[in-house]
């Protein structure tokens, strides 16, 4: 993957094994001890136990802090929520009102989503069995793609200085999973948990903001390709999004004489 230097399909000889590795990553997550249990010990049950132990350690730490009463209003949760964010246990992603610069200037502070710090922990908390690894695409589509969105966000946060946002439009409702700021451009990002990649929201975003949208990015189980201004990145290449966006923009730039 590091040797990719243009937007073209990844050969099947690499694509299929990488797809299988990605499924295993959804099972283990990226935290060191669960990864070790799989890569060195090949012990799925021990890996499951380690994930449960990590979650249990978090819960014991939470118990040191004051309780929030049942039926509490949003403002009463704010300190607890900020504690989770500050501890980097969750990511808080604000809704953006428009693709402007800087991206933080267009935050709707009343609307946000929360994501786990690790996809393996999310899978364990969701009580999805590790046997889902053998069940085709189930890992990607379960929970309406929540695991996949979480995985992609982890990758994007590691590559771009500004925390991603998301975008919505009502009546009728459209939602773009993420907006990313790369240099002085804002790019819409759609995450598809399978190979069916029709995206009405990406289309609506382009219709609304026109020339501001140089490139639309989609993560899916399809191969690396570009169709017009839509760049499709295979999910297993999410960590290379910044590089691939750069290659795409370079290849589609007008020739200057």
CA distance 55 to 125: 8
Q: Quote the pLDDT of residue 68.
A: 65
CA distance 163 to 157: 6
Q: One digit per residue, pLDDT tens: the chain, 257 residues?
A: 999 999 999 999 999 999 999 999 999 999 999 999 999 988 889 999 999 999 999 989 887 776 666 666 667 778 888 888 998 999 999 999 999 999 999 999 999 999 999 999 999 999 888 887 778 777 787 777 899 999 999 999 999 999 999 999 999 999 999 999 999 999 999 999 877 778 899 999 999 999 999 999 999 999 999 999 999 999 999 999 999 999 999 987 543 33
Instruction: State in words which class domain 12-27+93-252 has.
Output: alpha beta
Residue range 168-185, pLDDT digits in tens:
999 999 999 999 999 999
One DSSP character per residue, 193-224 reads SSS----HHHHHHHHHHGGG-S-EEEEESSPS
- The DSSP secondary-structure symbol of 179 reads E
152-161 exposure pattern, b = at least 16 Cβ within 10 A, e = fewer: bbbbbbebbe
Cα–Cα nearest to 108, from 98, 96, 100, 117: 96
At residue 122, what are phi and psi to the nearest 5 degrees?
A: -60, -40
What 3-state class would DSSP assign to 249? helix
CA distance 193 to 140: 5
Q: Quote the pLDDT of residue 139.
A: 76
Domain boundaries, the chain: 12-27+93-252
Q: Quote the pLDDT of residue 244.
A: 98
Token duo for residue 148? 């996949």
Residue range 68-114, pLDDT digits in tens:
666 666 677 788 888 889 989 999 999 999 999 999 999 999 999 99
What 3-state class would DSSP assign to 27? helix
Q: Quote the pLDDT of residue 74.
A: 66
């Amino acid at each position: 993957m590091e040797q990719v230097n243009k937007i073209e399909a990844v050969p099947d000889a690499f694509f299929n094994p990488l797809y299988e590795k990605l499924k295993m990553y959804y099972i283990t997550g990226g935290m060191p001890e669960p990864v070790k249990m799989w890569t060195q010990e090949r012990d799925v049950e021990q890996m499951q136990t380690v994930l449960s132990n990590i979650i249990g350690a978090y819960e014991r730490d939470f118990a040191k802090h004051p309780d929030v009463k049942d039926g509490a209003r949003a403002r009463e949760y704010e300190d607890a929520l900020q504690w989770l964010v500050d501890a980097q246990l969750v990511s808080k992603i604000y809704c953006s009102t428009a693709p402007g610069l800087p991206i933080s200037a267009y935050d709707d502070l009343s609307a946000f989503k929360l994501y786990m710090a690790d996809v393996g922990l999310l899978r364990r908390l969701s009580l999805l069995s590790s046997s889902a690894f053998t069940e085709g695409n189930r890992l990607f589509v379960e929970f309406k793609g929540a695991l996949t969105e979480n995985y992609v966000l982890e990758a994007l946060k590691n590559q771009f200085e500004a925390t991603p946002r998301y975008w919505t439009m009502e009546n009728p409702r459209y939602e773009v999973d993420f907006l990313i700021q790369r240099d002085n451009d804002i790019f819409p990002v759609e995450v598809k948990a399978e190979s069916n990649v029709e995206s009405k929201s990406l289309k609506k975003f382009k219709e609304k903001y026109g020339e501001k949208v140089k490139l639309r990015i989609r993560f899916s189980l399809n191969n690396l390709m570009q169709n017009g201004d839509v760049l499709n990145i295979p999910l297993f290449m999410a960590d290379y999004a910044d590089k691939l966006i750069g290659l795409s923009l370079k290849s589609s730039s007008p020739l200057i004489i």
